[in-house]
Chain A
Amino acid sequence: SQKIEQNSEALNIQEGKTATLTCNYTNYSPAYLQWYRQDPGRGPVFLLLIRENEKEKRKERLKVTFDTTLKQSLFHITASQPADSATYLCARVDAGTYKYIFGTGTRLKVLA
């Protein structure tokens, strides 16, 4: 079965630094990978999507990469701020089924 693995340990970084979160998948490459942000007591909110044939996507301070050789996506937040503190979820979406499989998320804390 398809799996998504994220580092379950919390990531603490200093304000202004770049946060890098990792998402690894198993078996064949998904049609695309998505990244979501989840704050306590709320539902996940979509941030970015990257397709299998794309290497990199950017949106403001966010950047996502997709490496089909390593079977990995990296999510970067540059110039991080305390307001970026949240749990970040990675999801794979497979072609045809459009079924979403989420990782368990990585909790990010940006220290002022």
Chain B
Amino acid sequence: DARVTQTPRHKVTEMGQEVTMRCQPILGHNTVFWYRQTMMQGLELLAYFRNRAPLDDSGMPKDRFSAEMPDATLATLKIQPSEPRDSAVYFCASGLIHGDTQYFGPGTRLTVL
């Protein structure tokens, strides 16, 4: 049963620290999405990749967030420096180009104190 995996599942850090979240997409999937979910804003698209190339990261605060896909089996989302307003659940999802759906990971719950 193929699944998207994310690490860590929970992260508590202090303001100003660097945070790195990792995602392993489903093998064979060629699109990867990063989302942030909060009660107020819901699920917001931060960035997405197609065949490892970043297609759109307009939803991401550029000064502190960065997203990369060093290889087809790993996507990373980095926040540096982190701020309390970054506290949220971050989801990674993967799918196929022109596919009908995307598959979500379990999320990383980030708390920035």
Interface residues of chain A, those whose CB is within 8 Å of chain B, are: 32, 34, 42-46, 49, 89, 97-105
Contacts and interface: CB of A to CB of B under 8 A. Distances in A.
Given A100-B102, A104-B43, 10 more contacts: A42-B106, A42-B107, A43-B105, A46-B102, A46-B103, A98-B97, A99-B56, A101-B45, A104-B42, A105-B43
A103 B104 contact: no
A89 to B, nearest CB: 7
Contacts of B45: 99-102
Contact of B107 (A34, A43, A98): A43
Nearest to A47: B101
Nearest to A43: B104
The residue in A43, A89, A97, A100 that gathers the most chain B C-beta atoms within 10 A of its C-beta is A43
Contact of A43 (B31, B48, B55, B91): B91
Nearest to B35: A102
A99 B43 CA distance: 13
Contact of A49 (B35, B44, B56, B101): B101
